[in-house]
Amino acid sequence: MILSDKDFEDLEKECKRGVPFNVLASRYQLTEMELIKEVRQKGIIRDVRPKELQYIKDNIGSKPANYIQNELGLTKTQFGQICQKLRLKIVKSVKEWTLEEAIEKTRWLIEEKLGMQIDDFLPRRLTIDHFFQNDLYGCIDFANSQKKDDGYYRHFPVVAFLVCQSYRDKYRPFQFRHAKTNQYFRGKEGRKNVINAIRWIIEEKNKIKPANFKMAMTNKYFLKPRELAFWGVSPHYYRNYFKTKSELINELAKIYATEEDSALGNLKYRRQQLISAGIPIDKCYVKTCFYDDKYGIEIHHIIPQKDRNMTKINIDSAQNLIPLCPNHHAKAKTFAWKQLLKDSPEQWREIITNYLSKEG
């Protein structure tokens, strides 16, 4: 509701009479905070009210400081003095941030401030400028500090990290704008990453079950280049490894056939062992790991298969298995596993994950 000069004259009289702001706000179809801002900007009031102090204290951790300041119509000096009085820290160092705070602010920005839909267009619409324009520099700095040494997210922009952590299992980082020279789809692991990304598109976005892959692969609309590009996997990525789309599809067919055949590598058996032991196989077992692509999770043998004679336990049992992301799997292979023989098999998984957490 837009207030007229007559409204402000009436409000000034009512304020002098001590009529509570929540009562006045209902008359003008405004929230109490909105009304306080209006009368403050007109110079009718100057002092800060108890309700405002409570509002600042409740929201300083979830909303940017300048946003709260503008919401209440306060000057920068006023707001700074209030925060000092309440012993609230406006600017935090990167080390003081937590992932929970970064998620809270990211969700606030997307849902409340920008009013964006949590859909598959969001990765194309949200940019780092939205964070800067809303005084979320600390959020960006924190994300940079977290992802710079991460084997998965270091390839992608901070926006991808923040959104993927805020909406787990909804997005993949390659959906967000990234450089064409992105090394995630190149190098030693590039081929595998391309295949896993396309599997995600097939199974999660197209909802095609692995058992129906052979039926889908003959359809002319299957894995069209523009569709792949929409999901962030442009054809020039897979062309680094496959000369044609047909060659890529044939490789996918082989992979699905292998997974259907439980005799090949006992892959199904190993996965079932972990599931039966209550261990999720769709994420990395290292608690500090951000990797969340279930198609890339690998099963690591703590005691290698070639050294099966060095232990009495079945090396394909859950005690000797651990689900890891490709990065931690590679590091786990360098672990001096023979030292574990002095410990109980029930401790092996925790010992190795503690080692991997320290290694990064």
Looking at residue 265, its pLDDT comes to: 54
Which residues of the chain carry a pLDDT beneath 70? Answer: 61, 89-93, 260-265, 359-360
pLDDT computed for residue 172 by the predictor: 94
Helix/strand/coil (H/E/C) assignment for every residue in 333-356: CCCCHHHHHHCCHHHHHHHHHHHH
In this prediction, residue 91 carries a pLDDT of 60
The torsion defined by the Cα of 337, 341, 343 and 347, in degrees rounded to 10, comes to 50
Please report the pLDDT score of residue 195 as a whole number: 94
Confidence (pLDDT) at 328:
92
- The tens digit of pLDDT for each residue in 290-333 reads 888 888 899 999 988 888 877 778 888 888 999 999 999 999 99
User: Hey, where are the domains in the chain?
Assistant: 5-85, 94-175, 183-260, 267-359
Three-state helix/strand/coil letters over the chain: CCCCHHHHHHHHHHHHCCCCHHHHHHHCCCCHHHHHHHHHHCCCCCCCCHHHHHHHHHHCCCCCHHHHHHHCCCCHHHHHHHHHHCCCCCCCCHHHCCHHHHHHHHHHHHHHHCCCCCCCCHHHHCCHHHHHHCCCHHHHHHHHHHHCCCCCHHHCCHHHHHHHHHCCCCCCHHHCCCCCCCHHHCHHHHHHHHHHHHHHHHHHHCCCCHHHHHHHCCCCCCCCHHHHHHCCCCHHHHCCCCCCHHHHHHHHHHHHHHHHCCCCCCHHHHHHHHHHCCCCCCCCCCCCCCCCCHHHCEEEECCCHHHHHHCCCCCCCHHHEEEECHHHHHHHCCCCHHHHHHCCHHHHHHHHHHHHHHHC
pLDDT for position 149: 81
Q: What is the pLDDT of residues 185-226, one digit of tens each?
A: 988 889 999 999 999 999 999 999 988 998 999 888 899 999
Q: Which residues pair with 322 in a beta bridge?
A: 300
Closest CA to 55 of 12, 17, 19, 21: 21
- What is the pLDDT at residue 263? 46
